[in-house]
Amino acid sequence: MALSNYTSPKWWKEVIVYQIYPASFKSSKPANEANGWGDVRGIIEKVPYLKALGVDVVWTSPIYKSPQADMGYDIADYKTIDSRYGSLADVDELIKTLNDNDMKLMMDLVVTHTSNQHDWFIQSAESKDSPKRDWYIWKPPRGYDSTGRPIPPNNWAQILNDSSSAWTWEKKTREFYLTLHTSQQVDLNWENPEVVAAVHDVMHFWLSRGVAGFRMDVINLISKDQSFPDAPVIDPSCEFQPGEKFYTNGPRFHEFMHGIYESVLSKYDTITVGEAPYVTEMSEIIKTVGSTAKELNMIFTFDHMEIEDIKTKGESKWSLRDWKLSELKTIISGWQKKMIQWDGWNAIFFECHDQARSVSRYTDDSDEFRERGAKLLALMESTLGGTVYLYQGQEIGMRNFPPEWDPDVDYKDVESINFWQKMKKLYPAGSKELKEARELLQKKARDHARTPMQWSDEPNAGFTVPGVTPWMRVNDDYRTVNVKAQIEFVGQDLSVWQYWQQALQVRKSHKDVFVYGEFEDVDFGNEQVYAYLRTGARSKERWLVAMNWTGNDVVWEVPACIEVDEVVSSSLQATTVREDGTKVKLQAWEGVLARCK
């Protein structure tokens, strides 16, 4: 077997990446200019805050010029900053401020599609002879129905609106164009070498300005099956069907990724992470993240994010099931071991702007247990192998907003709105189905991650000046759940923020164990306690993580092969009464980190 590179030190393996959702992070604007949106200068203001937490790299969700049909994931100009966020000069200053603090900036690269307002698409739509026509994917209708309505080229559904066709009709030239996510996000035609060159150019533009790398949006959807076949009918009651198998890791995906590597990435010292939905096969994934793959450093995989989904109806996220701890262990531990075995690299994340809050999904977000749950997740995330990604607000245990919030008013995300409108069309007010739809929104909508960051107990949670209406409503709990209270907290235990800060310090001072170390499950069949051992790659030091994933106290029998030496930290440090080294008493939702003999 070839020598593994898994343990060879790289800066991008060791960093803590913090994702900022710019609209909701911090507004720097005074009362006379404030518009309810966060901005780049707001991020600059908070660099010392991020430094104190232990962050090394900041990843900003898109801040480019955009009509915001999908909150900036619909880019109208890759080289201009949206005026609501600031200017190129502001970004230059952000890069400098970060660099001065020994930190880096990572940007979101959204090149699977552009906005329909991008000049490339405007030109492309003008005529069939436009030099930009072939920059996007145009097809004539399959035919016309009895009412004269054009029939789309195939039956693919939109990802963010599954009751719509993935193809959008353009009246002037009487053809459809491919819009996999929403009708405003037009898929680029990567088969055209001019498109590939234009993307490379955009990447050089940002890297040469000092950006350290990219998170690449749905990057594994860039190569489509060029025969554009119909998708299998999974739900006969729907006109359109999920077509991802024809555009995920498609025929030329790896060729395109190699091209990016050769022409762009290999010329800089970058950090790269691909958002790669719908792919689970290790033999396929390793082609992208293998240490000699020459594609990307790592990808985000989604098995743990989809643990509550019922998969019988294709990929729809609008379903909910109960899951057992062993299922989560299978996923999390599985990725840990697979990446070591196959010589790849993990991106560790439990939140992002597309997922509800982790404390609400995986643990218990009641007032009684929210802090414990958030700290348990912090312990887990900070002790897993891979590069750690922390999402804004996760460090204070922000939770989903309450069930009373009105889907017609308080939800702003295009995916949630489409789902709610569809359900309202299908079912009458007061029906069981609409009640269930509301529950699904309350559990799973992307909106929960997008409420303004809770900085303090001041009006608008300190996100923007009082008297201004933020673009999205502030979660009702900001008076108790906020950064200021948690940083200043003095008590028996640590606040969630203080615990994260400590957990990141522990990780950084034991990289050999937590970043590069081996991973071994302990007591795998236990449905209450998730425990694993991390062993230093070089030092061979052994550390035990044991977490009680229930709301009851548990006395956990430590397997005989492990001798606990010293409990180094606990999420409930002040109150825990520990038993001897063969048993550990874990309170509800408590996690401990122990050094072993």
Catalytic positions: 217, 275
Nearer to ligand GLC by Cβ, of 203 and 594: the residue is 203
Give yes or no for a contact between 94 and 54, defined as CB atoms under 8 angstroms apart.
no
Report the distance separating Cα 433 and Cα 427, nearest Å.
7
447 binds ligand GLC (CB under 6 A): no
Does residue 378 interact with ligand GLC by CB under 6 A?
Answer: no
In the bound state with ligand GLC, the residue whose beta carbon lies nearer, of 160 and 293, is: 160
Q: What is the dihedral of CA 438, 444, 449, 454, to 10 degrees?
A: 60
- Site membership for ligand GLC, residue 73 (CB under 6 A): yes
Q: How far is the CB of 108 from ligand GLC (least distance, A)?
A: 8
Angstrom CA distances, 157 to 152, 191, 241, 272, 276, stand at 11, 22, 5, 29, 19
Does 590 contact ligand GLC by CB under 6 A? Answer: no
| Inter-residue contact 145 to 160 (CB < 8 Å) | no
SS3 546: strand
In the complex, the smallest distance separating the C-beta of residue 300 from ligand GLC, rounded to whole angstroms, is 9
Binding residue for ligand GLC, selected from 53, 58, 109, 218, defined by CB under 6 A: 218
Under the criterion CB under 6 A, does residue 188 sit at the interface with ligand GLC?
A: no
Q: List the structure tokens of 210.
A: 């000092």
> Which residue number, 110 or 596, has a Cβ lying nearer to ligand GLC?
110
- Residue 217 in the binding site for ligand GLC (CB under 6 A): yes
- Let me know the angle formed at the C-alpha of 310 by 307 and 315, rounded to the nearest 5 degrees: 90
Return the residues of window 511-550 that contact ligand GLC according to CB under 6 A. Answer: none
Considering only residues 21, 37, 58, 70, which one is a binding residue for ligand GLC as defined by CB under 6 A?
Answer: 70
Nearest-approach distance from CB 243 to ligand GLC, in angstroms:
15
How many angstroms separate the Cα of 321 from the Cα of each of 310, 318, 324, 443, 444?
Answer: 6, 10, 10, 11, 12
Instruction: Identify whether the C-beta of residue 298 lies closer than 8 Å to the C-beta of residue 345.
Output: yes
CB of 352 to ligand GLC, least distance (A): 7
**What are φ and ψ of residue 186, in 5° steps?**
-100, 125
CB 596 within 8 A of CB 542: yes
Nearest-approach distance from CB 527 to ligand GLC, in angstroms: 32
Total of chain residues touching ligand GLC, rule CB under 6 A: 11
Considering only residues 175, 275, 520, 521, which one is a binding residue for ligand GLC as defined by CB under 6 A? 275
Q: Is 260 in the site for ligand GLC (CB under 6 A)?
A: no
CB closer to ligand GLC, 449 vs 531: 449
Start-to-end C-alpha separation, the chain: 31
Q: Give whichever of 82 and 354 is closer to ligand GLC, judged by the CB atom.
A: 354
Measure the CA angle with vertex 260, ends 339 and 203; round to 5°.
110
Give the nearer residue to ligand GLC in terms of CB position, either 17 or 584.
17
The residue among 160 and 377 lying less far from ligand GLC, judged by its C-beta, is: 160
CB of 81 to ligand GLC, least distance (A): 18
Paired tokens of 413: 């995300």
181: contact with ligand GLC by CB under 6 A: yes
Which of 179, 336 has the CB closer to ligand GLC? 179
* Radius of gyration for the chain, computed over Cα atoms and rounded to the nearest angstrom: 24
The yes or no reply on residue 90 touching ligand GLC (CB under 6 A) is no
> How many helices (H) and strands (E) would you count in the chain?
16, 24
Binding mask 158-177 for ligand GLC (x = CB under 6 A): --x-----------------
Q: Give the shortest CB-182-to-ligand GLC separation in angstroms.
A: 8
Q: How far is the CB of 66 from ligand GLC (least distance, A)?
A: 11
* Distance in Å, CB of 405 to ligand GLC, minimum: 20
**What is the smallest separation between the CB atom of 84 and ligand GLC, expressed in angstroms?**
18
Identify which of residues 19 and 570 has a Cβ nearer to ligand GLC in the complex.
19
Pairing relation of β-strands 16-20 and 387-391?
parallel
Residues 106-125 binding ligand GLC (CB under 6 A) are: 110
Question: Whose CB is nearest to ligand GLC?
Answer: 73
Residue 156 in tokens = 């693919």
Pull the structure tokens for residue 377.
Answer: 């997740």
Q: Which residues of 137-171 are buried (b: 16+ CB within 10 A; e: fewer)?
A: bbeebeeeeeeeebebbbbbbbbbbbbbbbbbeee
Q: Tell me the C-alpha to C-alpha distance, in Å, between residue 28 and each of 20, 392, 465, 482, 519.
A: 15, 17, 9, 18, 43
For ligand GLC, which is the closer residue by CB, 39 or 70? 70
Q: Tell me if 76 contacts ligand GLC by CB under 6 A.
A: no
The site string for ligand GLC over 326-365 (x = CB under 6 A, - otherwise) reads: ---------------------------xx-----------
Q: How far apart are CA 260 and CA 187, in angstroms?
A: 18
CB 53 within 8 A of CB 504: yes
Residues near ligand GLC (CB under 6 A) are 70, 73, 110, 160, 181, 185, 217-218, 275, 353-354
